[in-house]
Structure formats: C-alpha cells, structure tokens
Amino acid sequence: MKDISILFVCMGNICRSPLAEGVFTHLVAEARLTDRFTIDSAGTGGWHEGEPPDRRSIAVARNHGIDIAGQRARRIRSIDFVSVDLIVAMDRDNMAEVNRIASSEANIQLFGDVALGTGEDIADPYYGGPEGFELLYTRLLTGCSSLLETLVAERTSCSGNTSSVR
C-alpha cells in the first residue's frame, strides 16, 4: 500500500476538522497503519490560525481517549491542492469555498458522501452545548471508520499505479 494523505476541512479549524483529524489518526494508529497515512486538518478561514482546537472538541476527544490538544489551527493553502490525495470538507459551504480556491488537480469530497454515504453536512457545534460535540464525535467516528476501511481496501486492491482516491 502506498501512502495516503488526507486533509479534513471546516470553517475555522477549531471544532469539526481537528476532531476528524484526531479520530482518523486514532483509528489509523489502532489499525497499525500510521506509516501509510499523512493526516491533517485546516480551515477555509484564518481567524483562528495558531490556536488550539475549541476546548469542547478537546474535551470530547479526551473523553474518548484521543488527544488533540497539541493541534494548531491553520488555513488551507494552495500547496494542499496538489500535495494531498483527498480533501474532505465537513459541509457544503466549506466544500464550495474549497472548490472556489482549489486547483483543478484537487480531489475534494464531502464527508457525508465519502465517509458516511448519506450526503449529509456535518453540523458545526460551535454555537451549541456539549451534546453537539458528542454528536459530532459519533458522526466522525462512524464516518472515519468507514473511510479508513474504504481507503485501505482500495489501496490494497490496486496494483500500485492507480486508485479512485486520487
């Protein structure tokens, strides 16, 4: 299997995408596939650059044995569009923004499509309470588990030259 790079994207890179990065990283580590994946997250806006994830995202991750406190928010960069195999947007608004600024080489997918198969947007829990972050964690865990399974199966079945991921 070749390395797969994945970038989770939300608006400010403090709630949804850092938690997705943490969940996916945790699942990859549990599967002993850390050497095969590069996992990151970013935001479409730069309001929180350099800041840690929202304290509620950190708390829900910690409650499930995942540490995301060391992550720092960043804005998506032009290099991401050519260096990342799969860019996963948390909702349609962020997907539209990423598509607006992306190069034609970018592989941009909606989390609800590529990970959940439902087409749903992953709601931003920022303006709500802890229950929204717990629901976010549950949707991300379900989707990231499915996405990991799909990516591993695709890469394992490939001859090494092609993949539907890219």
Q: 63: domain CATH number?
A: 3.40.50.2300
166 lies in some domain? no
145 lies in some domain? yes
Has 92 been annotated as catalytic? no
Give the total number of structural domains in the chain.
1
- Spatial distance between the Cα atoms of 41 and 74, rounded to a whole number of angstroms: 8
25 lies in some domain? yes
The whole-number pLDDT of residue 160 equals 53
Has 158 been annotated as catalytic? no
**Catalytic pick from 40, 80, 91, 124?**
124
Handedness of CA 16, 18, 19, 24 (dihedral sign): positive
The whole-number pLDDT of residue 150 equals 96
165 lies in some domain? no
35 lies in some domain? yes
The whole-number pLDDT of residue 89 equals 98
Has 144 been annotated as catalytic? no
Bridge partners of 105, per DSSP, are: none
The whole-number pLDDT of residue 159 equals 45
> Range of 112's domain?
4-157
The Cβ-side half-sphere exposure at 156, using a 13 Å CA radius, reads: 7
**Catalytic pick from 15, 16, 54, 91?**
16
The whole-number pLDDT of residue 1 equals 41
Q: What is the pLDDT along the chain (166 residues), one digit of tens a residue?
A: 459 999 999 999 999 999 999 999 999 999 999 999 999 999 999 999 999 999 999 999 999 999 999 999 999 999 999 999 999 999 999 999 999 999 788 999 999 999 999 999 999 999 999 999 999 999 999 999 999 999 999 877 764 544 444 4
Full-model pTM: 0.93
164 lies in some domain? no
**Catalytic pick from 10, 80, 85, 139?**
10
For residue 149, which of 110, 122, 119, 117 has the smallest C-alpha distance?
117
